[in-house]
């Protein structure tokens, strides 16, 4: 598959690791501690049903139920990139820092990865430094919506100082959490404006907010207007538009984003994860179509789909 010579770098994907079952168990435990076992299961069932509805909407095959080794999944991903014309993929999660580092090491020319340990752990700063300096990871990924404390808590300023020292990008998911809206453990962390003071205090850190804010587009654009170090990634189906109080479509969202942040702060991501779907070509094609229909210049499209991500990952481009 080719895209008229356009290079594609997927800045936001999730490696389908065999460790996934451990993460799901941990998330189930968190929910049970807060809501009780029965309600936690209802929340998970609701989320799974919504994911199933979305899968059918896009015509994707169901996720595989068998557990496949990470080595085999890495080979499959390498084949995906080759067959679908994608230069490189950045995995923002992958079963822990050590595990993802091992996966990236299997194909470092095509894979990169982000640290994704707990922001509020006692060793968060030292673990980040180890992840970047020793494991070769390229940035940090977290889900604000799943944190139990506000992410602008001053107790974690030492962590942001470490990020700034390491000169790495940070992806922070705000807004809804996957299917069915998903539960949030601290409602303040749903809103990208929670990052305002942190982004102002640590202006050298590139903060990337995925999914156009996942339902908080207005707040995200206000944050970007005030903080030039805040970027937006386009990843996923962007189904959140369906629940907005006004009619929205991808053309309009990208146009308004470009008007606010310009082409240098918008980054393509697919949010791909499981097989047999693999790399989600339909998401890419929808975003490319929208960019072309609103009349973006070729150079701007090159920035969104490759150059901006390559710059943040410090690649040769």
CATH number for the domain spanning 163: value is 3.20.20.140
Domain-embedded: residue 109: yes
Is 42 part of a structural domain of the chain?
yes
Residue 265 lies in a domain: yes
Q: In terms of DSSP bridges, do strands 88-93 and 266-267 run parallel, antiparallel, or are they unpaired?
A: unpaired
Q: Is there a domain that residue 188 lies in?
A: yes
Q: Which domain holds residue 150?
A: 9-312
Per-residue tokens: 9: 């770098």
Q: Would strands 111-113 and 266-267 be described as parallel, antiparallel, or unpaired?
A: unpaired
Helix (H, G, I), strand (E, B) or coil at 91: strand
pLDDT for the residue 23: 60
Residue 317, in any domain of the structure = no
Quote the pLDDT of residue 191.
95
Residue 4 in any domain: the answer is no
3 lies in some domain:
no
Q: Which of 137, 205, 125 is nearest to 172 (CA)?
A: 205
The per-residue pLDDT for 79 is 98
Q: How far apart are CA 204 and CA 190, in angstroms?
A: 23
* Residue 219, pLDDT score: 97
* pLDDT at residue 292, rounded to an integer: 97
Q: What is the pLDDT of residue 181?
A: 46
Give dist(CA 304, CA 287) in Å, integer.
10
The answer to whether 308 and 267 have CB atoms below 8 angstroms apart is: yes
pLDDT score at 5: 85
- pLDDT of res. 184: 57
pTM (2 d.p.):
0.93
Structure tokens at 286: 């929808």
Q: What is the pLDDT of residue 173?
A: 95
Supply the pLDDT for residue 187: 75
Q: Which residue has the tokens 């820092």?
A: 97
Report the number of distinct structural domains present in the chain. 1
Q: Are 233 and 10 in contact (CB under 8 A)?
A: no
Q: What pLDDT, on a 0 to 100 scale, did the predictor assign at position 178? A: 63
- CA-atom Rg of the chain in angstroms: 18
Low pLDDT (below 50) residues in the chain: 181
């Amino acid at each position: 598959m080719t895209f008229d010579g356009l290079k594609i770098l997927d800045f936001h994907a999730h490696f389908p690791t065999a460790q996934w079952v451990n993460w799901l168990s941990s998330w189930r435990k968190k929910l049970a501690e807060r809501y009780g076992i029965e309600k936690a299961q209802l929340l998970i069932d609701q989320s799974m049903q919504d994911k199933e509805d979305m899968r059918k909407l896009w015509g994707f095959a169901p996720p595989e139920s068998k557990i496949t080794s990470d080595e085999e999944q890495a080979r499959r991903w390498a084949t995906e990139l080759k067959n679908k014309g994608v230069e490189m993929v950045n995995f923002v999660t992958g079963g822990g820092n050590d595990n993802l580092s091992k996966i990236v090491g299997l194909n470092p020319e095509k894979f990169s990865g982000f640290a994704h340990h707990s922001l509020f752990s006692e060793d968060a700063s030292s673990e980040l430094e180890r992840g970047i300096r020793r494991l070769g990871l390229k940035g940090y990924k977290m889900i604000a919506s799943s944190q139990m404390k506000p992410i602008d808590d001053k107790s974690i300023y030492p962590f942001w100082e470490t990020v700034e020292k390491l000169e790495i990008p940070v992806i922070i998911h705000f807004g809804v959490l996957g299917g069915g809206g998903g539960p949030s453990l601290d409602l303040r962390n749903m809103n990208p404006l929670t990052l305002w003071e942190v982004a102002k205090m640590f202006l050298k850190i590139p903060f990337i907010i995925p999914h156009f804010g996942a339902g908080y587009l207005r707040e995200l654009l206000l944050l970007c207007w005030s903080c030039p170090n805040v970027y937006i990634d386009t990843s996923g189906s962007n189904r959140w538009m369906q629940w907005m109080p006004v009619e929205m479509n991808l053309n309009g969202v990208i146009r308004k984003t470009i008007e606010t942040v310009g082409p240098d702060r918008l980054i393509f991501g697919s949010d791909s994860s499981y097989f047999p779907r693999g790399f989600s070509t339909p998401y890419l094609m929808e975003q490319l179509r929208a960019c072309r229909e609103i009349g973006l210049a070729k150079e701007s499209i090159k920035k969104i789909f490759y150059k901006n991500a390559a710059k943040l990952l410090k690649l040769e481009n």
